Amino acid sequence: MKNFINISDCSSVELRAIIEEAKKRKQNRSGLNKSAPDEDKPFEGKSMAMIFEKPSTRTRMSFDIAVKQLGGSSIILNPDGIHYGKGEETLKDTAKVLSEYVDIVMLRTSSHKNLEEFGRHLDVPIINGLSDVSHPCQIMSDILTYEESNGSIEGKTVCWIGDGNNNMSNSLIEAAGKFNFKLNIGCPKKYSPNKSILKLAKKEKVKLTITSKPLEAATGADCVMTDKWVSMNDKVNKISKKKTLKPYQVNKKLMSKANSDAIFMHCLPVGRGEEVTNDVIDGKQSVVWRQALNRVHAQKSIIKWCID
Ligand code: CP
Ligand code: NVA
């Protein structure tokens, strides 16, 4: 039994195997209806419980479809509608009970500590569907999307623009080490990666460049990524944060610094006209809708890896 909580918890070999399995399964089901099961139905007779403490469109839909394609079923639990670490039942007891009913749990939480605690008490695997610290499923899907467009990501240059200290940028830094790509982060000093992720990056010898000059970060990049300037439950002064991040918008000028075949990625939801202009997100280099689709394919592979 394996949990999927952070990219840094897995070896490069395991992560590569997850991506290759996703590519293979996606190819093998071409022509099938969106929710039709794969021929081998590896999750048949099994189920996943999903708990969302925060809103979600993509993670909710893509996990549900992923489970269906693996031949299983899923149930979404509203934390306000169940005994979830409050009132009469502890988090530990909820975890013990869920372990009796389902084969895997997916949790989206504002507290990474809750995720780890819940995982410790579950007797089945847990998948991180986004926490305040990381968003590993999104970054795994993004690796898949990059490789479908432009081939192996190894040795390539990815550029991250904007908030350099959020769940997405943390997982991207971890992925840069595991998949061996260069990562340029263009962000204001105030929103630079935090000490603990920088410590990990150093230990893992991540080829990381951090600059406050966004155009410099984008120069020669094979992929430009960004994210909302204010994340869900980000307890900041939104107006002041957005003002600080204004020079870190992905627009045509910034994209022109990247390589001509560079792609633009965004995990969505997007703040149109804030972190990215409409002409970029709706333009030829943008792969954002395929990123959303690939959540299904990467997560099927992650579920399979957890239960195998
Ligand atoms: N990218 C992503 O995780 O989207 P949702 O918040 O809609 O799940
Ligand atoms: N950093 C964003 C990602 C959304 C998928 C957030 O946490 O809101």
Which ligand minimizes its atom distance to the CA of 227? 2
Owning domain of residue 109: 7-134+295-307
Same domain, 283 and 299: no
Ligand 2 atom 8, closest CA:
231
For residue 88, the model assigns a pLDDT of 82
Same domain, 141 and 123: no
For 87-101, 222-236, 270-284, which range has the lowest pLDDT when averaged over its residues? 87-101
* SS3 call for 289: helix
**240-268: average pLDDT:** 98
Angle between helix 288-307 and helix 136-150 axes, rounded to 10 deg: 120
- CB of 134 shorter than 6 A to ligand 2: no
CATH number at residue 127: 3.40.50.1370
Do the domain assignments include residue 1? Answer: no
Residue 60 falls in the annotated catalytic set: no
For residue 85, the model assigns a pLDDT of 74
Same domain, 176 and 278: yes
Choose, from 25, 58, 135, 266, the residue flagged as catalytic.
Answer: 135
Q: Ligand 1 pocket: which residues have CB below 6 Å?
A: 56-59, 130, 138, 267-268
CA-closest candidate to residue 3, choices 124, 94, 183: 124
Same domain, 47 and 189: no
Residue 297 falls in the annotated catalytic set: no
Same domain, 123 and 191: no
Ligand 1 atom 4, closest CA:
58
For residue 243, the model assigns a pLDDT of 98
- 88 alpha carbon to ligand 1 midpoint, in Å? 31
- pLDDT greater than 90 at residue 52: yes
Question: 153 with 147: CB under 8 angstroms?
Answer: yes
Among all chains, which residue has been given the structure tokens 């709706």?
Answer: 282
Same domain, 228 and 258: yes
- 206 alpha carbon to ligand 1 midpoint, in Å? 26
- CB of 106 shorter than 6 A to ligand 2: no
Distance of CA 221 to CAs 11, 123, 160, Å?
A: 26, 43, 10
Same domain, 101 and 220: no
- 262 alpha carbon to ligand 2 midpoint, in Å? 23
Give the total number of structural domains in the chain: 2
Q: What is the pLDDT of residues 141-180, one digit of tens each?
A: 999 999 999 999 999 999 999 999 999 999 999 999 999 9
Do the domain assignments include residue 2? Answer: no
Structure tokens at 165: 């200290």
For residue 31, the model assigns a pLDDT of 95
Residue 86's pLDDT band (cuts 50, 70, 90): confident
**Beta partners for residue 4, in sequence order:** 127
CA-closest candidate to residue 233, choices 50, 53, 27, 43: 53
**183-191: average pLDDT:** 98
CA-closest candidate to residue 132, choices 53, 248, 49, 244: 53
